Structure 1
Amino acid sequence: MATDSDDLQGAWRVFIETAARLQTMLDDDLRAGTGMSLADYSVLLILHESEGGRLRMRDLAHRMVFSTSRLSYQVDAMVKRGWLQRERATEDRRGSYAVLTEEGRSAFRSAARDHHQCVDALFFSALRPSDGRELRAVMERLAAHLDTIHPRTQET
């Protein structure tokens, strides 16, 4: 007979393995269809949804759950592709902004159509609406728990 501990251990294993598998499949699909990585797409999505298509680097690192150096490398690669530009923060001269370019907006729009189809095929089509509500509630509870144990820091 399975115990609560067995159920939690089993849930952990399925979660970690399925999350890694899903991210790999999404990344592979994006790379094959658009030449961009899932990390590229995530940066473009966050900036696309941000006011003016711009966000402080520290805030973008926070949203991406990236270290400052990892985000800097990611943004530099995207600047080289013409998808982003960097702007100094004039209000305090300490930080900088990542800014979505028109070329970046176009690349995002193009990738979003195919990416949505892939997400639909790999994720949405396997779940019922009630699964989404339950999964969201569990993940929000887990995120809040993580924030109490290890709050994300705001780096400049």
Structure 2
Amino acid sequence: MPTDPRMAAWRPFVETTARLQTLLDAELRAAVGMSMSDYNILLILHEASGNRLRMRDLADHMIFSTSRLSYQIDTMARKGWLCRERAPEDRRGNYAVLTDAGREAFAAAARIHADSVQRHFLDAISADDGKALRHIMIRLSEHLDA
């Protein structure tokens, strides 16, 4: 075991976050036929002004390549959860736009997801743990942005 407590935290961090993401994804897929990537895109569009966001901005939020996002958007559009619209201001860009069916799918998934997050994450940590973890994750995110 590493003597540096930061290194000792590394593997549990990687393994636990992967397990948690996999578990949340499996529960969403089983309940509503939606992946965590689908859910996160719907969440971002749900929170966006006018339920729309330029594709490049959505790719930045998702940390996806443009080709991966394009594939994901096409898959979700076939399900009727969103559509693409040309950006009238420059004709080169596109918007991803949440549809009524997407809002309904998101609402159903949000209930399932909230229950899963409660059982698998919130029930396992204290409020103080949450504050400390939030602080650490924000600091790590800022470090990665620098």
The Cα offsets for residues 20-57 of structure 1, whole Å up to 9 and x where unpaired, read as 00000000000000001010000001100111110000
**Aligned partner of 1:28 among 11, 26, 29:** 26
CA distance in 2, matches of 1:29, 1:39: 13
What residue in structure 2 maps to residue 125 of structure 1? Answer: 123
- Measured in 2, the distance between the counterparts of 1:93 and 1:11 equals 48
Under a length normalisation based on structure 2, what TM-score does the superposition of the two structures give? 0.97
Secondary structure of residue in 2 paired with 1:93? coil
CA distances 1:78-130 after superposition (whole Å, capped 9, x unpaired): 00000000001111111100000000000000111111001100001111111
- 1:124-149 Cα offsets, whole Å, 9 max, x none, are 1111111111101100000000011x
Task: Give the counterpart of 1:40 among 38, 41, 50.
Answer: 38
What are the equivalent positions in structure 2 for 1:3-82 lying under 5 Å apart? 3=3, 5=4, 7-82=5-80
Counterparts of 2:85 and 2:10, CA distance in 1? 41
**Which residue of the partner structure matches residue 151 of structure 1?**
none
Structure 1 alignment gaps of length 5 or more:
149-156
2:98 aligned partner: 100
- 1:55-93 CA-to-partner distances (Å, cap 9, x unmatched) read 000000000010000000000000000000000111111
Q: 2:112 and 2:145 mapped to 1: Cα distance?
A: 33
Other structure's SS at 2:22 match:
helix
Post-superposition offset of 1:10: 1.5
TM-score if structure 1 supplies the norm length? Answer: 0.91
CA distance in 1, matches of 2:6, 2:127: 23
* Paired amino acid for 1:14: P
Specify whether residues 86 and 133 from structure 1 end up closer, same or farther in structure 2 by C-alpha distance, changes over 3 A only.
same
Per-residue deviation at 1:8? 1.3
- Equivalent residue pairs, number: 146
Question: How far, CA to CA, are the matches of 2:118 and 2:31 in structure 1?
Answer: 16
Q: Which amino acid aligns with 1:58?
A: R
For residues 134 and 26 of structure 1, what CA distance do their matches in structure 2 show? 22
